[in-house]
A and B are shown apart, each in its own frame.
Chain A
């Protein structure tokens, strides 16, 4: 019985060992799964408006063309003070004696050289008086001072100043607000003064002397008429950002063929000027490009209260606007000069304290362009799908299927950056989009379907596994190798599908 059992057990062991010999379970470690999956990554349905919807500068015109319009309604302004400012006035002193009263004196209204004022309404200010006597009088001395060519509220513009008995001096003043002085009556910028010692007969001593000093102080003008003269003034200088979203990724290569720069003027000063603005664009690299617009004449309003509006247009025919925009300015600097009354006199000018020459601007960039080397770039920083377990990724490829309604093609360069993201270590170039078919007027008339596939070589894949990021550099080219001018319409759209084909090699 035991023999049978031993025999049976031996048989069992023999069979079991035979089975073991036929199998190699160590091969479990060798099992690899190598599926290759085609995975859709991106489906971009992109209209032009999607691209620019976050930027209110883009405007769709009635004919579906698109313009970038940058506006600043109040770029700068020049007020009445810039044209007729009232300088510090001189004090004028006259000698009087009671015996010969009254007295007439002349004085001038101080203005900037060349300005000849006629009727002038005073907004603010006053006239100051000072009486001084070398020896005291035994009685009060009452002196009435009148501006002969001035009225306040229809009344004579006069003031009585009293030098008290026994005093050597007295001061007083006369507010001139709402006062009107006809500075043309009697000369240029003329002010006539009458000084009358009202109690001259009773003043003692009769031969005593008085000095009357008069000065216009803190004068500002409410309204003025006259000849403001021919002068050169500086335009206000300043700057504004011209950082248009949507263009910011364009680093070079685009040429907008029909940009327009407009200055809007509103002139309520009765004066004609010749404006010579200096407008310079500063690009991101610091280079400066001038608009080269030249000088423009602005005719003032013909009657007080009127505002004369003008639009000055700088376009590709009368300026260097194309080059100016081509330089992709990030900032625009403005300054310049203005010649008032550029034609020979006499001139009939007028102003009020609120009148001004106000200047606004509009930069209109119709998206009519040609591009040969227009670069756009973006980065893909998340490479986790490839880098999380790089040893399990055996191959990587991409397919691009597009239906392009835009009238430009795109050549894409996929740049593999090093592990620090500083230098490129390799790149893959491909034609991403073919341009839509473009009609004679520069408008796209039918979309173009195009498929492109790219497979990373094993060497490129190894670099990709170590890369910090991918840089996608797209070069946009308009038809005819960038020579044909195309128009961007709001109706253009792009349908782009990107799929990845990833071959895995996954162990157990």
Chain B
């Protein structure tokens, strides 16, 4: 497997949607990972320890352009389905992938509040689909619609990073709790499109008029390449010189016994990408109407490769050492309101926004949070994620002594009923949790009384 493919796979599979939803996690205060989306979420544990690697694994996927059934529905013509799907694409068609992996996490009560710290690795891939170019590839340039294809809105970004965080939350008073996470970030790799303006016009005389203004910037790919080529160590590939900082801010306000509200802003920050920078550039206009001919030669065109070479030259793609650059993190904002029917049953509503490069994704959801039994919590939600309406979420948490297991998904139904799947995420992990002695005594006393 070549290095490029390895790198691509690493980026692809190490990856969170910039539009990562976390609609269930936000209100799932039974697990400490909820601090990740609101550092002010009141914690019930005295101490929690996230087991290395397995304490939190999260995967997210969404695309807004097709369901598996659109392509692979039994008894249909898959090629007709494919063609119909490609024809349905527009400038808003996107695919997002995201993955996080908790390397280590610890939380405990101290300094009059709750302290958390840890490390987690995160990778993201967010891309719009170049609808016109996909149509060109699928149908060719002989159909009228594809005589002139262009893209100006195409964007793509992939990123792999490691976050080292320290968080603290404090009950300001009986009603208000504030919290913050401070992150030091080391970026492993980033690739993004600064601009992709490309037009390919097929003229009436079969000539191709190509106009490009493309700048794709990247950092860190060289480190990964060196690692895969055994020219560098894993340590060098992970601990790069691409550094950044981030902060998460949160607030939780208890309006009354029945009502509370919370809000957070996550991933305010940036990464300076300054190691192994490479720019990929294409800039110019070119009219390609055929290769030159040498009529004095027996084989005047000499080779079809010459034609392809000429076409390649038309795009004039070249690579050069790039300058360092700064990329802001994809910031997310949450706002939630919860209504507690009693201590076991709560209904909530949540708004979530993701900001990335001028693009905003709005998610909405309502949920039910149930503490069915002491060691077993459940959460059910309905969300509209990225304009996708059929997201029914389910989260469960169970405890076996100090061992806490959890599993949740914002679109659990479609993980199973995947023929309609457009967006889903899944998060699971194992924590060790210890509760306050006082709370334990109360629990024990209640047990004895019963």
A residues with a Cβ closer than 8 A to B are 12, 15-16, 18-19, 21-25, 27-28, 30-44, 46, 50-51, 54, 378-385, 399, 401, 497-499, 501, 503-504
Which of B206, B208, B305 lies in contact with A384, CB distance below 8 A? Answer: B305
**B residues 250-307 in Cβ contact with A at 8 Å:** 288-293, 295-296, 298-305, 307
Q: Give A108 to B138 CA distance when docked, in angstroms.
A: 105
Among listed B99-107, B403-411, B414-422, B428-436, interface-contacting one: B414-422
B301–A41 CB distance below 8 A? yes
Is the CB of B82 closer than 8 A to any CB of chain A? yes
A42–B142 CB distance below 8 A? no
Q: What would 8 more interface pairs be, CB under 8 Å, given A27-B78, A32-B79? A: A15-B413, A16-B418, A24-B75, A27-B72, A40-B207, A43-B207, A385-B304, A401-B206
**What mask results when residues 296 to 322 of chain B are scored 1 for a CB within 8 Å of chain A, else 0?**
101111111101000100000000000
Q: Give A497 to B291 CA distance when docked, in angstroms.
A: 10
**What mask results when residues 61 to 103 of chain B are scored 1 for a CB within 8 Å of chain A, else 0?**
0000000110111110011001000000000000000000000
Q: Give A51 to B293 CA distance when docked, in angstroms.
A: 11
A23–B72 CB distance below 8 A? yes
B206–A23 CB distance below 8 A? no
Measured between C-beta atoms, what is the minimum distance from A309 to chain B in Å? 38
Is the CB of B140 closer than 8 A to any CB of chain A? yes
Which of B71, B207, B295, B299 lies in contact with A381, CB distance below 8 A? Answer: B299
A40–B79 CB distance below 8 A? no
A residues within 8 A CB of B302? 382
Measured between C-beta atoms, what is the minimum distance from B349 to chain A in Å? 27
Q: State whether A46 and B295 are in contact (beta carbons under 8 Å apart), knowing that A23-B419, A32-B79, A41-B307 are contacts in the complex.
A: yes
B74–A31 CB distance below 8 A? no
A497–B206 CB distance below 8 A? yes
B residues within 8 A CB of A24? 72-75
Measured between C-beta atoms, what is the minimum distance from A274 to chain B in Å? 45
A44–B293 CB distance below 8 A? yes
**B residues 317-367 in Cβ contact with A at 8 Å:** none
Q: Give A37 to B136 CA distance when docked, in angstroms.
A: 9
Is the CB of B202 closer than 8 A to any CB of chain A? yes
The 4 A-B residue pairs with the shortest CB-CB distance, nearest first, are A499-B206, A43-B290, A35-B140, A27-B78
Q: In which size bucket is the chain B interface?
A: 35 or more
Q: Give A383 to B79 CA distance when docked, in angstroms.
A: 29
Which of A30, A33, A50, A383 lies in contact with B138, CB distance below 8 A? Answer: A33
Measured between C-beta atoms, what is the minimum distance from B414 to chain A in Å? 9
A residues within 8 A CB of B74? 21-24
Q: Give A401 to B301 CA distance when docked, in angstroms.
A: 17
Is the CB of B390 closer than 8 A to any CB of chain A? no
Is the CB of B400 closer than 8 A to any CB of chain A? no
A25–B303 CB distance below 8 A? no
Is the CB of B389 closer than 8 A to any CB of chain A? no
B207–A19 CB distance below 8 A? no
Which of A19, A25, A39, A50 lies in contact with B416, CB distance below 8 A? Answer: A19
Residue from B82, B136, B137, B289 with most neighbouring chain A CB atoms (10 Å): B289
B300–A16 CB distance below 8 A? no
Q: Give A497 to B203 CA distance when docked, in angstroms.
A: 12
Q: Give A24 to B76 CA distance when docked, in angstroms.
A: 9
Measured between C-beta atoms, what is the minimum distance from A458 to chain B in Å? 18
